[in-house]
Amino acid sequence: MHGSMSGAGDGRGTRPTAHELARYEALFAARTRSMKSSAMREMMALTARADVISLAGGLPDTSTFAPELYAKLMSQVAAESTARALQYGPTEGMAAAVECIVEVMAAEQTRVDPGEVIVTTGGQQVIDLVCKALIDPGDVIVAEAPTYPGAVPTFGAYQAEVAQIEMDADGMPIDELERTLDSLQAAGRRPKFIYTIPNFQNPGGVTMSLPRRRRLVEVARERELLVLEDNPYGLLRYEGEPLPTLYSLDAQAAGRGGGADLVIYLGTFSKILSPGVRLGWAVAPRPVLEKLNLGKQGADLCTSPVTQLFVAAYFQERDVSGEAGWRGYVERLKDLYRRRRDVMLQALTEHFGDAARWTEPQGGLFIWATLDERIDTTDLLALARKSGVAFVPGRAAYMNGRSGSSSMRLNFAGVPDEEIREGVGRIGKVIREQLGLFGTLTGSSGQASGRLPAAEPAGEQSTPLADVVALPRPKQEGSARRRLDR
């Protein structure tokens, strides 16, 4: 996947000087102080370099899409609707794209009303629009720990305070969530929404169990709280049975035969087809949908009809057996990514060994690995880059930018087998060098395990909890359980 992007290496991206910055500083909005460059962006630049094996980006392998099919679909769009493709479209999205979305949702065992769908410029825009609709500065969002690194700067830009709940192998522990909600309530604070990635979590790689899903929806309904269900990878399951979406559980509980009351669903074509089409969607209760639509008007008027019609044409494709072509493509992706996951797991055993522990995802794109606590993966990344390999340092998945400092996110989906092996090997080498510097090559604290690092046995809690920043509010009681990080 490296070498798949341009834009770097031509002198662009030069940072402004301190003098230049000072001139404009007074004009910047307060929110810019919490708008740090996410690790994602650095990664994007990095992946443009041909000499770096990037296990960093959230990249699917788009080289698997046949150029002939791309040309054929675009020619079809040209013949039928060039003028429509090149024109503005409705803010809520084109009916033809919404039909595809309804079809994907059906594959996720989730029935949706086309009238409750908005087509967005990628899934990322849903996170932005939901924040725009709901978040005033200082409002609380509850999220998982670790959480999607791309959501971190968005939450920051809206000046949200984020309570991150450490996951274990079954995703977010709902009893922990309830304790956090209780603490917040005691402080007179009601979270605006709970942000979760239930399937093959990014970056944690874990999946929320069915009992927890049921309980999460119950909790949301008991307390009238909105949930943002981010589900980019649901169809990329490599083993085990699919679990129902939170959206479908909430719709069922609402019992009107209609949509959900409290779950806002975020979907995207990025991982089942292409990130380059920049097509995502939200399914939401109408009053919320209305606000998302208003926000989108101001943000970019409408999503590209060029890419909406391309996807619509693609969804008309049938293979020889008459099955939908996109379903077959997803099956091929699953075979490919399953194998790459296994290659990475094996490489981790070989090259990280007992110097780390990591998750074993049943789907998706990512493995979360945690090293000896003396290693800071942000520093490690600098060394790794010199060795020609990149990953996302764990801090990027925490709002405080400090927790997760010994962890890393590894993407197994975007690069070929041999690069996975080589990349993990290179990282393993710098880890061993680091540990050697500590003079404790055998003194690593971890062992390979499917559990997330935070699910440590009692008594070992010093590291993760020491990283927590307490909310600077008078009513706020000190509690090791509550983590409100800006």
Q: Which of residues 11-40 bind a copy of itself (CB under 8 A)?
A: 11-16, 20-21, 23-25, 27-32, 35-38, 40
- Candidates 106, 186, 210, 301; binder of a copy of itself (CB under 8 A) is 301
Size of the site for a copy of itself (CB under 8 A): 118
The verdict on 458 binding a copy of itself (CB under 8 A) reads no
**Hey, which residues between 79 and 118 contact a copy of itself (CB under 8 A)?**
79, 82-96, 98, 114-115, 117
Residue 274 vs 370, nearer CB to a copy of itself: 274
CB of 349 to a copy of itself, least distance (A): 30
CB of 81 to a copy of itself, least distance (A): 9
Asked if residue 188 binds a copy of itself (CB under 8 A), the reply is: no
Using CB under 8 A as the binding rule, whether residue 336 contacts a copy of itself is answered as: no
Window contacting a copy of itself (CB under 8 A); options: 147-155, 201-209, 252-260, 462-470: 147-155
Q: Which of these ranges, 70-78, 333-341, 384-392, 452-460, lies near a copy of itself under the rule CB under 8 A?
A: 70-78
Residues 355-374 that bind a copy of itself (CB under 8 A): none
Task: Say whether residue 442 binds a copy of itself (CB under 8 A).
Answer: no
For residue 302, give the amino acid letter.
C
Q: Which stretch binds a copy of itself (CB under 8 A): 178-186, 236-244, 305-313, 328-336?
A: 305-313
Work out which of 100, 110, 112, 124 binds a copy of itself, going by CB under 8 A: 124
Nearer to a copy of itself, 95 or 466 (CB): 95
Task: Spell out the residues 6+ positions from residue 182 whose beta carbon is closer than 8 angstroms to its own.
Answer: none
- The 3 state secondary structure assigned to the chain is CCCCCCCCCCCCCCCCCHHHHHHHHCCCCHHHHHCCCCHHHHHHHHCCCCCCEECCCCCCCHHHCCHHHHHHHHHHHHHHHHHHHHCCCCCCCCHHHHHHHHHHHHHCCCCCCHHHEEEEEHHHHHHHHHHHHHCCCCCEEEEEECCCCCHHHHHHHCCCEEEEEECECCECCHHHHHHHHHHHHHCCCCCCEEEECCCCCCCCCCCCCHHHHHHHHHHHHHHCCEEEEECCCCCCECCCCCCCCHHHHHHHHHCCCCCCCCEEEEEECCCCCCCCCCEEEEECCHHHHHHHHHHHHHHHCCCCHHHHHHHHHHCCCECCCCCEHHHHHHHHHHHHHHHHHHHHHHHHHHHCHHHEEECCCCECCEEEEEECCCCCHHHHHHHHHHCCEECEEHHHHCCCCCCCCCEEEEECCCCCHHHHHHHHHHHHHHHHHHHHHCCCCCCCCCCCCCCCCCCCCCCCCHHHHHCCCCCCCCCCCCCCCCCEEC
Task: Please identify which residue in 217, 226, 228, 384 interacts with a copy of itself, judged by CB under 8 A.
Answer: 226
**Helices 325-351 & 417-437 angle (0-180, nearest 10):** 30
Binding residues for a copy of itself restricted to 39-58, rule: CB under 8 A: 40-41, 44-45, 48, 57-58
401 makes contact with a copy of itself (CB under 8 A): no
Q: Does residue 384 touch a copy of itself according to CB under 8 A?
A: no
Please identify, among the stretches 228-236, 275-283, 375-383, 394-402, the one whose residues bind a copy of itself according to the rule CB under 8 A.
275-283
274 is a site residue for a copy of itself (CB under 8 A): yes
Footprint on residues 193-212 left by a copy of itself (CB under 8 A):
193
Say whether residue 332 binds a copy of itself (CB under 8 A): no
Q: Binder to a copy of itself among 205, 295, 404, 428 (CB under 8 A)?
A: 295
Nearest distance from residue 227's CB to a copy of itself, in Å?
A: 12
Q: How far is the CB of 469 from a copy of itself (least distance, A)?
A: 21
Does position 242 interact with a copy of itself (CB under 8 A)? The reply is no
